[in-house]
Structure 1
């Protein structure tokens, strides 16, 4: 990637000890990559072309449906997917977010990377589990980065959401704080860490940034509503 072109992309590489052949980029407010918000589709497509050209990648743009489907080198998932996994160099696994949790995956030795879009529905239903299954590698060698998402001070949910997690993993209760009127404050980052730890993944980085509260840096659907843009979080493998 040309050093001078980095100024075209708000954001930067993520901070984690990934292997030298793994590349990442997490965009910030100012480069709307989503077709759902207030930015005109023509401008969004220009932003997407800028991202692909600057990073020199073939990006996989998913139709995200808050589900658990995983696009792979062998599986297209035309009906929609919320994660992707590849073993091909130059292919960018990318997810778009505006409060949901972006999760990037790589392995310390194996040539495989992935990205997952984890809102509470996908997280509870197993999108992280499906992504790891598609990677088909020893979980002890996997590194994970958790990106910016709605934080525990801003993510108020009903008791039914908490029940979804508790039914699958009782220790998930530690990621919820009691609110008023039977409501709960949920910590998406903590819920993801618990899910990953149960799968044998313990090398987890990132987390801590709240898209709702850090309004100058991130888009937020909860704060901005239907006008909210989308950030992109991409991982790929460079040519050796």
Structure 2
């Protein structure tokens, strides 16, 4: 487990899990926090408890049913009594509510405002990113120019190979996105995509100038991170944020 490295107010707390530790057996070996990947439910429950204790969270994270969409729920206005709510981002101004997203190559993005009065977490795979999940999350903040963002562990720009249709989808929304793609040698129509650069472009366009993190690669660091593209059947990491 580690924390976001950014100049957030002291009231803002974060916790990002790795695959290390935990009780899950192969192929989920380690601290799998995803309940939807066919791991043993008792192992996932134990891992979640271990993670929560290690991170000293004030409450159980409010887990989402993520669908690669753009919906952002406001935690204090959403009923979680029946289990996970379908969304790919969540935001709150309430102290002690823990926003969380699960990933294993997709990009987790954490947000807070300069005053430390509001936080959010978003799950941004390429589909969510191109469709506007970061914009929908920032819409929960009254002034995006006061918001800072942290980019968590995702598949890196040397490993994320995509087809021409993915590149085109981004460029149709923003011509500047072309700079985030590099043609793969000897593979016609294949491109390496930089999720971190694509996210920064979207955030900057919304007025968010303070963007931190990035530089991870879930695909190449098999010791620290789960990677769906690398392993197929695998676990999930969690990125959490709350107001203390």
Q: Structure 1: any 5+ residue segments left out of the alignment?
A: 1-10
- Over the aligned positions, Cα root-mean-square deviation in angstroms equals 1.5
CA distance in structure 1 between the partners assigned to 2:66 and 2:79 by the alignment: 13
Listed as ranges, the matches of 1:85-104 within 5 Å are: 85-104=91-110
User: Deviation of residue 57 (structure 1)?
Assistant: 2.3
Give 1:217's aligned residue.
224
Deviation at 1:50, TM superposition (A): 2.9
Q: Distance in 2 between matches of 1:148 and 1:230?
A: 11
Question: Which of structure 1's runs of 4+ aligned residues deviate more than 6 A?
Answer: none
On the 8 A contact 2:104/2:226 being kept in 1, the answer is yes
Take 2:50 and 2:6, find their aligned partners in 1: how far apart are those partners? Answer: 25
Task: Check whether the contact 2:64–2:85 (CA below 8 A) recurs between aligned residues.
Answer: no
Higher share in helix? 1
- CA contact under 8 A between 1:36 and 1:229: conserved in structure 2? no
| SS class of match (2:130) | helix
Q: What's the counterpart of residue 160 of structure 1?
A: 165
Say yes or no: does 1:43 pair with 2:70: no
Q: For 2:86, what is the secondary structure of its paired residue?
A: coil
Q: SS state of the match for residue 61, structure 2?
A: strand
SS at match of 1:58: coil
Asked if structure 1 preserves the Cα contact closer than 8 Å seen for 2:152 and 2:213, the reply is yes
Counterpart in the other structure of 2:240: 234
Partner of 2:198: 191
Q: Does the 8 Å CA contact 2:105/2:154 hold for their aligned counterparts?
A: yes
Q: Corresponding residue for 1:144?
A: 149
Cα deviation, residue 96, structure 1: 0.4
Q: Distance in 1 between the 2:85 and 2:112 partners?
A: 25
Displacement, 1:64?
0.3
Query: TM-score with structure 1 length normalisation?
Result: 0.90
Using structure 2 for the length normalisation, give the TM-score: 0.89
